[in-house]
Amino acid sequence: MDLSTFVRDIPNFPKEGILFKDITPLLSNSEALSNCLQTLVTNSPEKVDKVIGIEARGFFFGTALAEKLGAGFVPVRKKGKLPYKTISESYNLEYGDDTLEIHKDAIQKGEKVLIHDDVLATGGTAAAVTKLVKQLGGEIVQYSFLIELNFLNGKDKLDAPIYSLLNY
């Protein structure tokens, strides 16, 4: 199945000059959704203790990946969205700045972590999450993305294997 046919381009979103890759058509098709999840699982490491899903689109497959891999799920959210004690990391992305947070007790020292998000663009978001995981003592075993925008070279900011389902 060619999953790229379920990704539509939205020009000038969220701001002028950005070509947004919209995955909602993929999410709304049960066959594409199932195929996507199975491909992500097949291309994941065997031993994962925690799967991190990055707000918000990383939650779509992050929780399902965690369940299929027999791992726990950890949400990383924007500042002020998590109810317990957190640590935070600020970062730049292609259209602004933001801050991400994780619960202080979400990752235990030595746990093997898979970081999942929908798109790898400039790498700023994933690099910020990397700092959070390392601060808590986790070991990143893989980054997992639905889409990688190769021309932005985001992978250069990451220090573990990367699996991207679709490359543009």
Catalytic residues: 57, 94
Give the strand order in the sheet containing 139-148: 86-93, 96-103, 72-78, 50-54, 112-120, 139-148, 162-167
Q: 140 to each of 44, 131, 135, 159, 161, how far by Cα in Å?
A: 12, 10, 12, 8, 9
- Evaluate the CA torsion angle 118, 148, 42, 70 in order and state its sign: negative
Q: How far apart are CA 108 and CA 116, in angstroms?
A: 18
Phi and psi, residue 118, nearest 5°: -75, -40
How does DSSP classify residue 39?
H
